[in-house]
């Protein structure tokens, strides 16, 4: 649950361009359909260092909808479509922009499926 040196370097580059950038990580150990609290860890840049942000000050809108969609994707196996950039570097035919996955998420989040 701590950023790797590579993640910190990328976050530093982003922060150079965007003053309010944050480093957001998912706690995979807490990802489950029944988990009611967002499984995220957030760091903010203060005094040239990335520091853990107090989780009580983080507000996520639409967490229940997000959790429900993630649960559906885990149950259907669609989460296996996720391609990270490292996988793309190993095989450039893999789409790291995740268009198939994004389309599936948009479909699940659409008003036709009871979401707003």
What tens digit of pLDDT does each residue of 93-105 get?
Answer: 998 899 989 999 9
Do 20 and 49 fall into the same domain?
yes
Cα(102)–Cα(116) distance, integer angstroms? 17
Do 35 and 73 fall into the same domain?
no
Residue 48, domain member (yes or no) = yes
Residue 14, domain member (yes or no) = yes
pTM for the structure as a whole: 0.61
Cα(106)–Cα(84) distance, integer angstroms? 19
Cα(26)–Cα(31) distance, integer angstroms? 8
What tens digit of pLDDT does each residue of 44-71 get?
Answer: 999 889 999 877 667 677 778 888 888 8
Residue 116, domain member (yes or no) = no
Residue range of the domain that includes 78: 63-109
């Amino acid at each position: 649950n701590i950023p790797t040196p590579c993640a910190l370097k990328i976050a530093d580059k982003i922060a150079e361009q965007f003053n309010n950038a944050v480093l957001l990580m998912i706690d995979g150990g807490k990802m489950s359909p029944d988990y009611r609290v967002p499984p995220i860890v957030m760091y903010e840049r203060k005094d040239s260092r990335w520091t853990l942000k107090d989780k009580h000050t983080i507000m996520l809108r639409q967490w229940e909808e997000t959790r429900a969609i993630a649960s559906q994707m885990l149950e259907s196996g669609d989460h296996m479509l996720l391609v990270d950039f490292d996988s793309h570097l190993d095989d450039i035919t893999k789409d790291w922009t995740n268009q198939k996955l994004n389309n599936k998420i948009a479909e699940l989040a659409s008003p036709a499926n009871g979401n707003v």
